[in-house]
Structure 1
């Protein structure tokens, strides 16, 4: 969304394995947008209510990924244009293709930039959308100061942070030990504490330090149960595959074998064939205004 609960992050990669990874990320982000459509619709409707006249005409999607946020906001604000900013050239190319399909190519401009290096030269904007992207920045306080300067007075910044990563599996799943998915997330959390220290942050104090007035804060919990969107199985598979790539040496052989069967099997134990999936996750959204 840059709805990046699986995080493409702020990094540059230029080799074939990285390109494959970026293609997988693009698929995951698009599946996230499809399955989490109700959440995104609710969030953007709320933002539309909070936006005051004059309505936003220029939107910046900070860490845009495949453009989920930009496209949703362009649908809400029909007279607006969007700047999609991301470090990944491949994701931005994918975004431009989606813009053409959606008929909004003339309303979207892409900017490739590594914000840990320098803030790009862009015109001032009326609304900034930063969904699951701030926690990737080496110095989020500096980025918030740059965003403040990039906004017109009265402009809005929307920050979305992950409270919990999506979960899909029954709690009793696991060979001899229930709670496989919970163990997966616990194992990942150990590494993420060092690699992504700002993940899960409460951004109120940072917003205030940058000069923003916090207009609203709201949690959004998702708990989807059957019948689910048709793409849920592929979304769960792509999500668990990305998790699995970081679990070697962190979990037992039995747990890893069970996870591999879930992800890769085309039989009844494979995740694409399961009829007991759910989608459970939570995010917090802050809306802040430049005075």
Structure 2
């Protein structure tokens, strides 16, 4: 797609036609925001300290349902935030939230495929990319576009998960504990990408690189159990013959929402993950 389409709060909010994968992703992003909202707030507070002046124009790359865009609009009360995403369903959800929060005059969605090039958004003060850059076919081109769009002194904040969230106690597994560790080992054999060198090659000056851990202990609110179910179901969709049949059967029992072993019925779930943020400035 080479054209850019701007969504408004009056856009059709009918999600008919969305495939199951998109619906599941919307659910996961919304639950992620509900369960891990404090982390986003901490990140935006840190950016407030790093910006050389109050940003007026902010872009959220791969915005999803708008968790980052909304948080940035709350943090920087005088800024306009442009949320860029390819999915109309994600942008419709963003528009709904912005409207409900009275932010529709400052938070807008732009539908664009960043793999086709940087949309015409003008000069930017702050670019936010949270768990999105690794999805790009050519992340170096996306970073170069961000660099060119930023004003001198402007800031890029790039956040990625070091590993997918983990939820289960270590003793789960038929005859062999550590089911969740085996799931992650089967699906994530490579280490997380370190963007430090690529940012430097693009021309950015690194201001900060901050890993931060999430470790939420039981008992957790009901949203955490739903978050665990959605995340584990996503992992299950990518598993075929990578695990023994006993492990797959145990996982399927955990994902049977009506069954006695469902994660929705457990009171011993935790939420554990690590994310890293790079804050880099255009000289």
* Matched residue, 1:34: 34
Q: Secondary structure at 2:173's aligned position in 1?
A: coil
Q: Is the 8 A contact 1:160 1:285 kept in 2?
A: yes
| Residue 178 (1) aligns with residue 177 (2) | yes
Equivalent residue number for residue 233 of structure 1:
225
Query: Residues of 2 paired with 1:240 and 1:278: CA distance?
Result: 13
What secondary structure sits across from 1:161 in the alignment? strand
Q: Which runs of 5+ in 2 are unaligned?
A: 1-15
1:48 to partner: Cα distance: 1.0
Distance (whole Å) between structure 1 residues aligned to residue 79 and residue 259 of structure 2: 47
TM-score (norm 1): 0.88
In structure 2, do the counterparts of structure 1 residues 243 and 18 end up closer, same or farther at CA, with 3 Å as the change threshold?
farther
Deviations 1:204-243 (A, max 9, x none): 1111111111111111100000232330000000001111
For the structure 1 residues 117 and 188, does the alpha-carbon distance in structure 2 shift closer, same or farther, using more than 3 Å as the test? same
Which residue of the partner structure matches residue 259 of structure 1?
251
Distance 1:18 1:255, change over 3 A: farther
Aligned counterparts of 2:132 and 2:257: Cα–Cα separation in 1: 33
Shift of 1:253: 1.3
Shift of 1:18: 5.6
Please list, as runs of the form range in 1=range in 2, the aligned pairs for 1:81-100 lying within 5 A after superposition.
Answer: 81-100=80-99
Q: How do residues 64-75 of structure 1 correspond to structure 2 at under 5 angstroms?
A: 64-75=63-74
- Cα offset, 1:118, TM superposition: 2.1
Structure 2 Cα separation of the partners of residues 34 and 59 of structure 1:
23
- Measured after TM superposition, the shift of residue 17 of structure 1 is 8.1
The aligned counterpart of 2:281 is 289
Number of matched residues? 268
Q: Tell me the secondary structure at the aligned position of residue 164 of structure 2.
A: strand
Q: What's the CA shift for 1:26?
A: 0.6
Report what 1:277 is aligned to. 269
For residue 265 of structure 1, report the CA deviation from its aligned partner.
Answer: 3.7
Q: Normalized against structure 2, the TM-score is what?
A: 0.91
1:206 and 2:162 correspond: no
Matching residue of 1:43: 43
Matched residue SS, 2:255 = helix
Quote how far apart the aligned CAs of 1:82 are: 0.5
Task: Tell me if the contact between 1:152 and 1:290 (Cα under 8 Å) persists in the aligned partners.
Answer: yes
SS of equivalent residue, structure 2 residue 222: coil
Q: Are residue 244 (structure 1) and residue 236 (structure 2) matched?
A: yes
**8 Å contact from structure 1 (residues 268, 274) kept in 2:** no
Quote the residue 1:120 is aligned against.
119
Residue-by-residue CA offset, 1:87-129 (whole Å, 9 max, x unaligned): 1111111111111112111111211111112221111111000
Equivalent residue number for residue 61 of structure 2: 62
Counterpart of 2:186? 187
Counterpart residue number, 1:7 = none
Distance 1:230 1:137 in 2: 33
Of stretches 275-284 and 263-272 in structure 1, the one that deviates more from structure 2 is 263-272
User: How is 1:129-144 mapped onto 2 (pairs within 5 angstroms)?
Assistant: 129-144=128-143
The separation in 2 between residues aligned to 1:131 and 1:161, in whole angstroms, is: 6
Alignment partners' CA distance in 1, 2:149 and 2:225: 40
Whole-angstrom distance in 1 between the partners of 2:248 and 2:218 = 27
CA–CA distance in 2 between the matches of 1:188 and 1:103?
Answer: 41
2:103 matches 1:104: yes
